[in-house]
Structure 1
């Protein structure tokens, strides 16, 4: 009778261990962040603020690079502000390397099916920008 109980224990362990993993990775089918299930990596539209466009321009970062960071960047929760109860006021800091090897942090603010680019930061170079 010890075999069925051993099998039951192993089955329970297998069931509870399934699905554990890195919480900052996107869910492949849904493209949502699994920690809070609110960060959409595949938005209907990307909106660029005036400030975000200015920072992109002076740092030589284009919209394709922004899209790549959105899709593949790592969310830095320390630099993010996800405390607001209003989902449109949350800000997520995504970090990664652009195709020309710039280490960047891009602040996104999700609202409905869209992502807004708030600002773009080159983490290695302090660019002189006149963005107001």
Structure 2
């Protein structure tokens, strides 16, 4: 006995909806996997085991009266300025622009590179005050 046309159409629509739902579930799984990888691998480590300083950063810190403790506080609690950061490189070549206030009320931007569990401070900038520095 042949199925009526409306029943065939209903079964076809039901099958199509099931297929679309299955595809959406696979896309959601891919999105969740991507977000998890981003959270685990693609974010800045604000508690590195080692903080290193470039010669340029040390010079800038000295002339701007910025301490190692203040730099560590910005690394731990500062906010990433994504517009000033360069994150389109591989992991050890990304540059993060971190900003925050120190106890002396200096508003700093520090540029850091992260590789594994080591953060290297490249430079530091006082965004409120110009300091005479002769660093190269």
TM superposition score normalised by structure 2? 0.69
- The superposition leaves residues 42-85 of structure 1 with CA deviations (integer Å, 9 ceiling, x where unpaired) of 1010000000000000000000000000110000000000011x
- CA root-mean-square deviation: 1.6
Residue 41, structure 1, aligned to residue 46, structure 2: yes
| Residue of structure 2 in register with 1:12 after alignment | none
Question: SS of the residue aligned with 1:88?
Answer: helix
- In structure 2, what is the Cα distance between the partners aligned to 1:66 and 1:104? 9
- The superposition leaves residues 66-124 of structure 1 with CA deviations (integer Å, 9 ceiling, x where unpaired) of 0000110000000000011x211100000000110000100010011100000000001
| Residue of structure 1 in register with 2:63 after alignment | 58
- In structure 1, what is the Cα distance between the partners aligned to 2:118 and 2:100? 21
Displacement of 1:37 in angstroms is 3.0
After superposition, where does 1:1-132 map in structure 2 within 5 Å? 34=39, 37-84=42-89, 86-132=90-136
Structure 1's unaligned 5+ residue stretches are 1-32
Q: Give the ranges of 4+ consecutive aligned residues of structure 1 lying more than 4 Å apart after TM superposition.
A: 33-36
What is the total number of aligned residue pairs between the two structures?
99
Q: Which has the larger radius of gyration?
A: 2
* The structure with more helix, counted as a fraction of residues: 2
Structure 2's unaligned 5+ residue stretches are 1-37
- In structure 1, what is the Cα distance between the partners aligned to 2:47 and 2:41? 16
Question: SS of the residue aligned with 1:101?
Answer: coil
Question: SS of the residue aligned with 1:39?
Answer: coil
TM superposition score normalised by structure 1? 0.71
